[in-house]
Amino acid sequence: MIVRNKKRPLNRAHSTAELVEGAVAMPEQTKTRLHVTLPLETSNWLKEQGNASEAVEELVKAARAVHLEPSEHPAEKLAQVIHENERLKAQLNQLQRQQSEVQQLDYQRIRQRVLTGLKLGRQASGYKSAVKALDRFIAQLPQLR
């Protein structure tokens, strides 16, 4: 036997009491249902937190506490950050090259002072051996850092 349109009986005692006393005010709704699309990784993380709604509420509270605003154009902001990163990398490379050149000049000055302190002529074999030894030493310095 198939029963269609089965109606539940009204609880007339409850309904009548409400009519006599006045309808009980329904509490104002403070939450709404929101359907969002999230990456699988984010969705799984929220599910691991237990109550996903509470986790989202806490994240929003934390974001508001530090005045974070949702990004209007995340792709543009990402491009700006990547561009800034590339600019800073180029600046760092330039500074490293300049530092290396300055150190190289300092090593050459020190080399020259040591050689002049030997009190040998440039044609002397001891002078030539010292030049070779100092040049090898200077060449090894960058590898020591």
Cβ–Cβ under 8 Å, residues 114 and 130: yes
pLDDT tens column, 2-23: 555 555 555 555 556 565 665 5
CA atoms within 13 A on the CB side of 140: 6
pLDDT tens column, 28-45: 667 788 888 888 888 888
Domain locations along the chain: 47-144
Measured distance CA(73)–CA(44) in Å, rounded: 25
Closest CA to 69 of 77, 60, 78: 60
**Which of 18-22, 55-59, 86-90, 106-110 shows the lowest per-residue confidence on average (mean pLDDT)?**
18-22
pLDDT of 93? 92
pLDDT of 142? 72
pLDDT of 15? 58
Q: Which among 26-35, 85-94, 132-141 has the top mean pLDDT?
A: 85-94
Measured distance CA(18)–CA(14) in Å, rounded: 6
Share of the chain above pLDDT 90, in %: 12
**Which of 71-75, 89-93, 124-128 shows the lowest per-residue confidence on average (mean pLDDT)?**
71-75
**Which of 9-13, 60-64, 88-92, 111-115 shows the lowest per-residue confidence on average (mean pLDDT)?**
9-13
Return the sign of the alpha-carbon dihedral for residues 123, 125, 129, 132: positive
Q: Which residue has the tokens 């036997």?
A: 1
DSSP 8-43: PPP-HHHHHHHHHH-PPPPPPP----------HHHH
Q: What is the pTM of this model?
A: 0.32
User: Is the model more confident about 6 or about 124?
Assistant: 124
Measured distance CA(112)–CA(106) in Å, rounded: 10
